[in-house]
Structure 1
Amino acid sequence: MKAKSGRYLWGFLITICWLVLMAGCQKEKVAGTGDGEYETLKMNYEGTVGQVIYPELAEELGYLEPLELEWIGNTTSGPASIQNAATGQTDFGGAFNGAIIKLIASGAPLKSVIGYYGSDEETFNGYYVLEDSPIKDARDFIGKKVGMNTMGAHHESVLKEYLRQNGLTDEEIKQVTIVVVPPANTEQSLRQNQIDVAVLGGMLRDRALEKGGIRKVFSDYDLFGAFTAGSYVFTEQFIKENPNTVKKFVEATAKAIEWARTTPKEEVIARFEKIIEERDRKEETETIQYFKSTGIAEKGGYIHEQEFQVWLDWLEKSGELKKEEISLDDLFMNEFNPYEVELKKEE
């Protein structure tokens, strides 16, 4: 009887805890779900050390009000970021479009809602070696180590496309070793000869170039020109249950992207500094001094079909996806983007 009573007591305590938890969650909800009312006011997310993401900028500029971002930690991996969104650990995540395709194809009910990073003449991801390195072209990569932030995402896909375009077979490509290195440590790993090639992008790249002693072999911009490479995602369920909140998030983030695209870079850097200093996460602000551009190809992060189609085709060609396994409609939506009407006319 004591054991049975104990089980009843344990069950009762679990029920009470669950009710308390649900009551706490309800504090984040706005009463009612009518037009213009936000279904939830706080959004859990992951940030990036020493950098400012556009939803954070949107919050700083006042575009996100009355919504608030709730930081739960940092990430250096796009695939991990969107996996956390898929499992509900965060409300949204961001990754390379090719990684998003693969996760959706595996059954994750995600939808891309806005682009958030890319490459242009000033902001791109380059594959760098030491000045005296024997690596000159694609064939020289065989047997070498390439350091990047994560596997199965932007940097790996671009590397393999470069190698394929330059005549390497699948067997030869397998002889190129990918080493996962945190972005903040990639330059150091190259200079200490722990890796042979370092993938450096944006502000981290510019800081490394300023020190000298490294040279570029190729970049994603060399291969594809200007393009938006990654998107923020929500689960389809979150969008269905919180349409007004998601719409507000997309509108605010799109406006923040446009602010960063059209504001003098000195002012953008100053605002980034303010955000980093005020959030007090024990970070340095050296990296953001090298900000040059957003790298985002379209106004407000509007997503063009081609930005997913190119990687959909690539994954089918490489055998990672079956032909017509998923469609573009499964991957993204622009309907919450305030620039959709304007840009759709131009397509």
Structure 2
Amino acid sequence: MKQTARDLRHRVARLFYLSALAAGVAASAGPALAQTPEKLELRYQGWASKVLYPELAEDLGYLAPIKLKWVGNTISGPQDIQAAVTGDVDFGGAFNGSIVKLVAAHAPVKAVISYVGTDKETNGGLFVLQGSPIHSARDLIGRKVGVNTPGAYEQYLVTAYLEKAGLSKEEIQKVVFVAAPPVNLAQLLRQKQLDAVFLEDIIKDKLLADGGATLLTTDYQLFGSFGYASYLFTDRFIAQNPNTVRKFVDGTARAIEWAKNTPRAEVVARLKKIVETRHRNEDTSIVNYWKSAGVGGKGGLIDANDFTTYIDWYVKNGVLKPEQVKPENIYSNQFNPFNQSVAAH
């Protein structure tokens, strides 16, 4: 019995020695080995006629060795992030207000990088046809307004426009929001099936260029420059694949900065090439209307206000209870390579 106990102690001591040796070898291998992505393929959903920043990052070589696997297109941010929760895709992106709702429903997710925003050059707008009797917010009472997803960003912006114009809650409830794919909204407006539509970034600019529409307001006019949509992963995915998430955020952040600092003509040419070579039967002309990166924080860094704005809105409208959701539980900049440089200032 004593012999067995002694042997056991020797085996345990040897295991500790081997573990320490292995740790030393791993440490001497440097950060490259420690940062090796655990998962080399990320499933995702695209958007028709748009190039997402992760797609641009892959084309620029910023994601290597990770590759993206397109599993189809989505027309809805809420659907996209729900697909991430259920595991149908590895990451999803949506309006920050939709992410707030998801976290409020106890979904174990974390937003890691902002990828859509508004600035002076790139913004979304509310349109009516030229000659329409709608000239102001009050004229929208009882009218049909087209948005891509009920209860998401576009409805939030239209509602904010109505509130700023002094409409009561009862009057705002008389505005009828109709959901349709973003690429179809302009057509439905021209066919007079909708009285007004909210269109984002390059789709908005294409409608303006085509003529026949009048712009009532833009999100930039209402709130200035800010980020309003983020990519997220589930907590479980992040725990199991931290290096993959870090590489994804790093590559996407670098792609955002590349778009900000590269001549517009070069960016448009690159985006057009990406759309043409992926063969998804898309309208390649839309990318010609790209103007700017349209992302608030450097490299997609998330600001707390990107979420508190919608938390406050939902609390005000009774969707959430006070303190039900806190921004620090929704997002993290820990994987963004630009985080430390910002913190150092």
Same structural fold, with TM-score higher than 0.5 when normalized by the shorter chain: yes
Q: Distance in 1 between matches of 2:236 and 2:272?
A: 35
Whether the 8 Å contact between 2:315 and 2:322 is mirrored in structure 1 is yes
What is the match of residue 229 of structure 2?
A: 230
What is the match of residue 187 of structure 1?
A: 186
Alignment partner of 1:332 is 2:331 = yes
Partner SS for 2:255:
helix
Offset at residue 184 of structure 1 (A): 1.0
What is the match of residue 125 of structure 2?
A: 126
Q: Which moved more, 1:275-284 or 1:265-274?
A: 275-284
What is the match of residue 61 of structure 1?
A: 60
Structure 1: which amino acid aligns with 2:98? A
Q: Distance in 1 between matches of 2:293 and 2:101?
A: 25
What is the match of residue 317 of structure 1?
A: 316
Q: Distance in 1 between matches of 2:234 and 2:129?
A: 42
What is the match of residue 299 of structure 2?
A: 300
What is the match of residue 273 of structure 1?
A: 272
Q: Distance in 2 between matches of 1:284 and 1:189?
A: 17
Number of positions where the alignment pairs a residue of Structure 1 with one of Structure 2: 314
Q: Distance in 1 between matches of 2:269 and 2:190?
A: 30
What is the match of residue 6 of structure 1?
A: none
Structure 2: which amino acid aligns with 1:251? D
Q: Which moved more, 1:278-287 or 1:315-324?
A: 278-287
Gaps of 5+ in 1: 1-32
What is the match of residue 116 of structure 1?
A: 115
Alignment partner of 1:204 is 2:167 = no
What is the match of residue 15 of structure 2?
A: none
Partner SS for 1:286:
helix
Matches within 5 A, 1:13-52: 35-52=34-51
What is the match of residue 142 of structure 1?
A: 141
What is the match of residue 257 of structure 2?
A: 258
Partner SS for 1:205:
helix
Partner SS for 2:250:
helix
Q: Distance in 1 between matches of 2:205 and 2:339?
A: 33
Q: Report runs of 4+ in structure 1 exceeding 4 Å deviation.
A: none
Offset at residue 112 of structure 1 (A): 0.3
CA offsets 1:114-160 (integer angstroms, 9 cap, x no match): 00011111111100001111112211111000011111210011111
Gaps of 5+ in 2: 1-31
CA offsets 1:37-66 (integer angstroms, 9 cap, x no match): 221110100001111000010100000000
Q: Distance in 2 between matches of 1:165 and 1:315?
A: 16
Q: Distance in 2 between matches of 1:191 and 1:36?
A: 52
Note the aligned Cα RMSD (angstroms).
Answer: 1.3
Whether the 8 Å contact between 2:304 and 2:328 is mirrored in structure 1 is no
Q: Distance in 2 between matches of 1:79 and 1:345?
A: 35
Q: Distance in 2 between matches of 1:345 and 1:333?
A: 17
Offset at residue 307 of structure 1 (A): 1.1
CA offsets 1:210-238 (integer angstroms, 9 cap, x no match): 12121111111111101111000000110
Q: Distance in 2 between matches of 1:277 and 1:177?
A: 37
Whether the 8 Å contact between 2:118 and 2:224 is mirrored in structure 1 is yes
Partner SS for 2:94:
strand
Whether the 8 Å contact between 2:250 and 2:337 is mirrored in structure 1 is yes
Whether the 8 Å contact between 1:79 and 1:152 is mirrored in structure 2 is no
CA offsets 1:180-213 (integer angstroms, 9 cap, x no match): 1111111111111100001122111111111212
Rg: which structure is higher? 2
Whether the 8 Å contact between 1:118 and 1:124 is mirrored in structure 2 is yes
Q: Distance in 1 between matches of 2:153 and 2:325?
A: 20
What is the match of residue 159 of structure 1?
A: 158
Q: Which moved more, 1:243-252 or 1:131-140?
A: 131-140
Whether the 8 Å contact between 2:206 and 2:286 is mirrored in structure 1 is yes
Identity %: 48
Whether the 8 Å contact between 1:129 and 1:135 is mirrored in structure 2 is yes
